[in-house]
Amino acid sequence: MSNDHDHHDGNDAHELRVSKIRDGTVIDHVHGGQALNVLAILGIDGSNGEEVSVGMNVPSDRLARKDIVKVEGRELSQDEVDVLSLIAPDATINIVRDYDVVEKHRVERPDVVEGVLSCPNAGCITTGDEPVTSRFSVLEDGVRCSYCETIVRDEIAALIDT
Amino acid sequence: MRHDHLITSKQLSRGDIETVLDYAAEIDDDPSAVADRHAGTLLGLLFFEPSTRTKMSFETAMKRLGGDVVDMGSVESSSVTKGETLADTVRVIEGYTDALVLRHPKQGAATMASEFVDVPLVNAGDGAGHHPTQTMLDLYTIRENAGLDDLTIGIMGDLKYGRTVHSLAYALTNFDTRQHFISPESLQLPREVVYDLHQRQDGTGIKEHDSLEDVLPSLDVLYVTRIQRERFPDENEYQKVAGEYQIDGDTLEAASDDLTVMHPLPRVDEIAPEIDETDHAAYFEQAHNGVPVRMALLDLLLSDDKGIGGGTDE
């Protein structure tokens, strides 16, 4: 099986702009424009020499325009996938080993994410120096702080506690 | 469901509320019957914000149950000034006391604090969040004056930052109520609260207005809160709206003779003194009800054989 797995989108030419990886993760069907936020969630800024390929706003049958992120030498943890699901609810995670896709699954939105987002409400107890881990429940269209109950629908990526 | 802490009115079912209100009415009728129920019990009062009525009514309630209170004093004289976290403070004071009452300027403070202690913790106000014991005395007062079903209530003033408003609105969704929220646009209910109210009561009983005029004749209860001058960045903006949200004799000419006017107090100029002597005024009675209601709540939280909850509708 090839890791150029989106043949049914009919965008081979576009896909080929992004190189194949040998071992790692391909995050596909990310909504157009969210790829850099995906990298932020994964804590990837290039400073550690990670080998990463990014395609942005490539045509897709399913999403019209999609982003795709390929990370060499790294398989995502479930926690990372959970947070990823908040900004890329339609993403597909492909685990690649020796150029073959050995696992492929859609992200699933968790009920709760802990310790990964910061509450934007300056009046929230979690924004002080308390020994508390942030906790957000996941709504259909956003996230909600479990402490102050603030709902965030847009710009969730900006809350990522990096 | 039995609750060990009282953090928000959202956690209370209709059965829970009726249990508290019925028990508060029993205590109101005969306070001497519970005078020694909690002899030797100590309640810790942790008020990180100034408070007069809430703090004194908890203190009175505990003493009328035979118990006593310890008080951390003002924030300025406490270890908070040394940088101690709230989490540490509550963990220390729970070792001294049998229950804690917490007021704090940050939203979610009571939720967080409850995660660090085993003794019952009561939220006495967390920033712009919740104030569930105020809600219980509000409901008690409403039930005494107008009943809690087939009720049309107007809630007016600073609905954005008013934690008493948020808590009351949530609790009222347990009953057959129509809620009219009246405020300047800049002080409307937070969208989170509106979202919750629609989730809890399909939205049909929830309406927002910028003027009292249209809804006043239909109201059984008008709950007034202070328009807080300090919330307005521009004094002129405050002056534009402040006068529209004040109640006097002329205002109430359009109201039902049975209208009950409430206010969590303190008031500044939202309700003219001329209303005080009319049958409409219930705000001092409302404040007095804080003692029997908090006696009932404390007894339910502190007694192994009671607890809040156990109702069948949750």
Kindly give the confidence (pLDDT) of every residue in chain B, 314 residues in length, as a single tens digit, with 9 standing for 90 and above: 356 899 999 999 999 999 999 999 999 999 999 999 999 999 999 999 988 899 999 999 999 999 999 998 877 777 677 789 999 999 999 999 999 999 999 999 999 999 999 999 999 999 999 999 999 999 999 999 999 999 999 999 999 989 999 999 999 999 999 999 999 998 999 999 999 999 888 767 899 999 999 899 999 999 999 988 877 778 888 887 888 899 999 999 999 999 999 999 999 889 999 999 999 999 999 999 999 999 999 999 998 766 665 443 43
Average pLDDT over residues A93-110: 92
B55 is catalytic: no
> Which residue from B191, B269, B180 is spatially nearest to B219, judged by alpha carbons?
B180
Residues B3, B10, B53, B267: which is the catalytic one? Answer: B53
Residues B64, B103, B160, B166: which is the catalytic one? Answer: B103
pLDDT at A108 over 70: yes
Query: Which burial class, exposed, middle or buried, applies to B164 when counting CB atoms under 10 A from its CB (0-12, 13-18, 19+)?
Result: buried
Distance from CA of B188 to the nearest CA of A (A): 15
pLDDT at A120 over 90: yes
Residue A107 contacts residue A91 (beta carbons within 8 Å): yes
Q: Which residue has the higher pLDDT, B261 or A47?
A: B261
Residue B5 contacts residue B114 (beta carbons within 8 Å): yes
For residue A130, the chain B residues in CB contact (below 8 A) are: 85-87, 112
B3 is catalytic: no
**Dihedral sign computed on CA atoms, order B138, B132, B22, B29:** negative
For residue A34, give Cα distances in angstroms to A9, A155, B40, B85.
Answer: 19, 11, 60, 37
According to the model, what pLDDT value does residue B230 have? Answer: 77
ipTM above 0.85, yes or no: yes
According to the model, what pLDDT value does residue A4 have? Answer: 42
According to the model, what pLDDT value does residue B203 have? Answer: 66
What Rg, from alpha-carbon coordinates, does chain A have?
Answer: 17
Note the pTM of the prediction, 2 decimals. Answer: 0.87
B103 is catalytic: yes
Distance from CA of A86 to the nearest CA of B (A): 19
pLDDT at A7 over 80: no
Query: Which of B83, B109, B192 is nearest residue A125 as measured by Cβ atoms?
Result: B109
Residue A42 contacts residue A83 (beta carbons within 8 Å): no
For residue B195, the chain A residues in CB contact (below 8 A) are: 151
Cα distance between residue B165 and residue B298, in whole Å: 22
List beta partners, residue A114: A135
According to the model, what pLDDT value does residue B310 have? Answer: 44
B163 is catalytic: no
For residue B146, give Cα distances in angstroms to A157, B21, B263, B280.
Answer: 48, 14, 15, 11
